[in-house]
Amino acid sequence: MFNFIITLIVIFFGVILVASNIRIVPQATAFVIERLGAYVTTWHVGLHVKIPFIDRVAGKVTLKEMVIDFPPQPVITKDNVTMKIDTVVYYQITDPKLFTYGVAQPIVAIENLTATTLRNIIGQLELDETLTSRDIINTQMRSILDEATDPWGIKVNRVEVKNIVPPHDIQEAMEKQMRAERERRESILRAEGEKKSAILVAEGKKQSAILDAEAAKRSAILKAEADKEAAIRVAEGQAEAILTVQEATAKGIEMIKSAGPDQGVISLKSLETLAKVADGQATKLIIPSEIQNLAGLVGSMKEVGKTIDE
């Protein structure tokens, strides 16, 4: 009975011992294993069993990409301007063994290396170049940090300059400069706008003058054509009137001829015509001899009439 109890106790402690040495490595994680104080292997995703009292887990390393936001670092530019710059480093552990045994406190080492590298790069740039060359700074820092951290099993994927904070007086000067630049651009844009407006107004006046000239020309042409047409119609009317008068005269003459008038009728018509002529403004009259003879005949007839009466 005693032996049975001892056996149960041994089995119980054996199960506990085995269970305590079973390890499950999750995704994106690696375990660094030491055996008797020396590195022996690296466990990756899956189920693993270590030897009790001989093997131990020296480190648990995450293989995910990590982000470190370092506090602002004071740096001095080439033209002796002191400013503060904070950076963000994106890194990933590629070799858990080197990360575990390569450097003590690797995050602190990366921070110090970042600050040193940043000071070296900014020290070669002037203030204006520093403010406009973030891409260059990021690229140079990533290249230098990636090369320096290779022995530590770390790969630096990206480095971003988060903020660049110049001194207060430099900020005020920059704001004044930007304000002056904006005012200059505004003046240029206003002048260009006024110039374009003047050009458009002049072009509009030119087009208006051209249209007015063309309208006046068309109006003159139409007026000339109208005057010409009116003159033609007046001339045609006058010609028709003359033709009508001539036709009437011809018909009158024809009627006189057809009536066969004697010499007395012709003489009387001549007298009527002479009376109409005498009513005019002429001061001299030329009387045909036939009419004179007729007048004498009429006078003689008047005298004969008087004698008969007596």
Other C-beta atoms lying within 10 Å of the C-beta of residue 93 = 21
Q: Is residue 249 part of a domain?
A: yes
CATH of residue 146's domain is 3.30.479.30
**What is the separation of C-alpha 2 from the centre of its chain, rounded to a whole number of angstroms?**
99
96 assigned to some structural domain: yes
Note whether 85 and 151 are same-domain residues: yes
Structural domains of the chain, count:
4
**6 pLDDT exceeds 60?**
yes
Same domain, 109 and 41: no
Judgement on whether residues 270 and 307 belong to the same structural domain of the protein: yes
Does residue 233 sit within a domain?
A: yes
Please check whether residue 2 lies inside any domain of the structure: no
Per-residue pLDDT for 290 more than 90?
no
Q: Per the domain annotation, does 72 fall within a domain? A: yes
Residue 184 included in any domain: no
- 152 and 195 in a single domain? The answer is no
For residue 114, is it within any domain? yes
In a domain, 232, yes or no: yes
133-181 tens-digit pLDDT: 888 899 999 999 999 999 999 999 999 998 888 878 777 777 788 888 8
The whole-number pLDDT of residue 102 equals: 86
Rg (CA), the chain: 66
Q: Could you tell me the two tokens for 84? A: 């503060």
Dump pLDDT digits (tens) for 58-74. Answer: 889 999 999 999 888 88
Residue 281 has pLDDT above 70, yes or no: no
Q: Which residue has the higher pLDDT, 276 or 236?
A: 236
Q: Which domain holds residue 33?
A: 16-62
User: Quick check: 88 pLDDT over 90?
Assistant: yes
Kind of pairing, strands 82-93 and 154-165? antiparallel
Q: How many residues does the chain have?
A: 310
Among 62, 83, 98, the domain boundary falls at 62
